[in-house]
Structure 1
Amino acid sequence: MTKVVNYISEAFQELKTNVTWPLWADVQRLTIIVAVFSIIFALLTWGVDTLFGKAIAGFFNIIK
């Protein structure tokens, strides 16, 4: 158990001293960029899904 506590303690110490954290303004800017691209990607996926759904439905209506 001592090894686990020591590992966690050293990990937190490394996060405090050796990691270069981004500025808050950069975090906000990049979060907005990721959110916008996620929404765009979701809309494109929905559009392609709808298009293929209608195409397949039309194909099966032709086959009937």
Structure 2
Amino acid sequence: MVEYIKESYNELRNHVSWPSWAEAQKLTVVVAAFSVILALAVWGVDTVFSRVISLYFDWIKS
């Protein structure tokens, strides 16, 4: 387990190309924006389906 952690640290330290601070900030904003858009889309679909199901059950009760 210790060897695995050492090798992982070495890999991250020496072989991974990290973005600059400015690029990381821009990418964070992009991810946050898409997360909000996706959350709103899921909320919209959930609201529509909830109303459709509610109307369906009201219809079959009558």
TM-score, with length taken from structure 1: 0.79
Alpha-carbon RMSD across the aligned residues, in angstroms, is 1.4
- Pair 25,61 (structure 1): closer, same or farther in 2 beyond 3 Å: same
**Counterpart mapping for 1:1-64 below 5 A:** 4-64=1-61
Shift of 1:7: 3.7
The CA distance in 2 between the partners of 1:7 and 1:61, in whole Å, is 59
- Any unmatched runs of 5+ in structure 2? none
- Any unmatched runs of 5+ in structure 1? none
Alignment-mate amino acid for residue 40 of structure 1: I
Larger CA Rg, structure 1 vs 2? 1
Q: How many residues of Structure 1 are paired with residues of Structure 2 in the alignment?
A: 61
Shift of 1:15: 2.1
Identity of aligned residues (%): 51
Runs of 4+ with deviation above 4 angstroms: none
TM-score, with length taken from structure 2: 0.82
